[in-house]
Amino acid sequence: MKKGNRYGTHRVIEPKGVLPQPANKIDNNMDEIYDNEILIDVQTLNIDSASFTDISKRAGGDKEKIAQIMMEIVEKQGKHRNPWTGSGGMLLGTVEKIGEALEGKTDLKVGDKIATLVSLSLTPLRIDKIKEIRADVDQVDIDGKAILFESGIYAKIPTDLPEKLALSALDVAGAPAQTAKLVKPGDTVLIIGAGGKSGMLCCYEAKKRAGVTGKVIGLCGSPRSQKRIDDLGFCDVTFVANATEPVPVLEKIEELTNGKLCDTVINNVNIPDTEMTSILATKDDGVVYFFSMATSFTKSALGAEGVGKDVTMIIGNGYTKGHAEITLQELRENEALRKVFTELYA
């Protein structure tokens, strides 16, 4: 076997010298793997929400056109990095082959079912056939292969949870795990996109961490998502609003917090132009966590400067230590949350 680089730079075609994620094209030839790679027989792609929403809009909701766009992205780049949002997703598959340099260095074996916890935007991917598109959950069943680099992280699919349920939760595992790190007892927390997939998990974690002296506020995009989170009971108060309209949301937050605003704001929505809503709702010295891949660094940085807000803004790193375990444990310990996720995603 040929010797590979830990971070996968041996797969980069152009431009040379960059890592696989920012590369314009990578090698997705699966006929021969490098000595430090894991070959995966792919079953399902869980497309990043911002990416799938964008592709679906471009395709007018037509599944054949969605499939065509996805195939063209992979054919051009050797990976599934949405050229308009820059985001990818993750996958579910079975370990088919393990490079010889990884022998004794990984707990994986051939036949293990895993979810990759690294983005499709850096993962060498070959799609042979798109079998089914489940637009309501951003999942696409395929015949295909993928490569996990030596530095790539993954989670074995647990035996006590349905595969598609675990995949949906693991796709957004970084958000609730980061929420667990950021929220402190007594905090006032705003979750933007509270009734969505990552939003529900974040609300649960925020309520657990803020405790009885804290307050969790859920901003929902529709009455249906509001009812979903209200039924779960993870928020102290919820309201429906357009997250792209910062001033009306600010007025509502001022009303709900007696003008004190929020210690922590978690942004989970999959649409652009919600940066200033997050920033204005945060008190000075507070924290904004942008988990959304639709977030613009420029809009956030210059927008905060423009309104004189001294807040800490965190880019939504999809990885933090223990994120898979934290997220799956949420589904195990809360029956109502697991039931909703099962109905929606499994």
Distances (CA, A) of 295 to 32, 87, 104: 37, 11, 40
- pLDDT tops 90 at residue 330: yes
Alpha helices in the chain (DSSP H): 49-58, 63-77, 163-171, 174-182, 197-210, 223-232, 246-256, 275-280, 297-306, 323-333, 335-345
- What tokens appear for 113 in the block? 């079912």
The average pLDDT across 316-343 equals 92
pLDDT at position 272: 92
Q: What percent of the chain has pLDDT over 90?
A: 91
Q: What pLDDT sits at residue 40?
A: 98
CA distances from residue 53 to 50, 80, 267 in whole angstroms, order as listed: 5, 14, 17
103-122: per-residue pLDDT in tens?
A: 889 999 999 999 999 999 99
Q: What is the pLDDT of residues 41-98, one digit of tens each?
A: 999 999 998 899 999 999 999 999 999 999 999 999 999 999 999 999 999 999 999 9
In 121-163 the beta strands, taken as DSSP E runs, fall at 125-134, 139-148, 154-156
Structure tokens at 225: 């998502």
Per-residue model confidence (pLDDT) at position 326: 94
Average pLDDT over residues 181-185: 97
Tell me what pLDDT residue 319 has.
84
Euclidean distance between CA atoms 59 and 140, whole angstroms: 15
Q: Binning pLDDT at 50, 70 and 90, where does residue 316 land?
A: confident
CA distance 199 to 192: 7
Q: What pLDDT does residue 164 have?
A: 85
pTM assigned to the model? 0.86
Instruction: Give me the pLDDT at residue 108, please.
Output: 96
What average pLDDT does range 246-255 have in this prediction? Answer: 98
Mean residue pLDDT across the chain: 96
Q: Is the pLDDT of residue 325 over 80?
A: yes
Length of the chain: 346
Summarised one tens digit per residue, pLDDT across range 263-285 is: 999 999 989 999 999 999 999 99
Q: Which domains does the chain have, with CATH numbers?
A: 9-157 (no CATH), 174-345 (3.40.50.720)
Q: Which residues pair with 157 in a beta bridge?
A: none
The whole-number pLDDT of residue 345 equals: 83
| Helix pair 197-210, 335-345: axis angle to 10 deg | 170
Residue with tokens 């993870």: 234
Q: Could you tell me if 163 and 189 are in contact, meaning their C-beta atoms sit under 8 angstroms apart? A: no
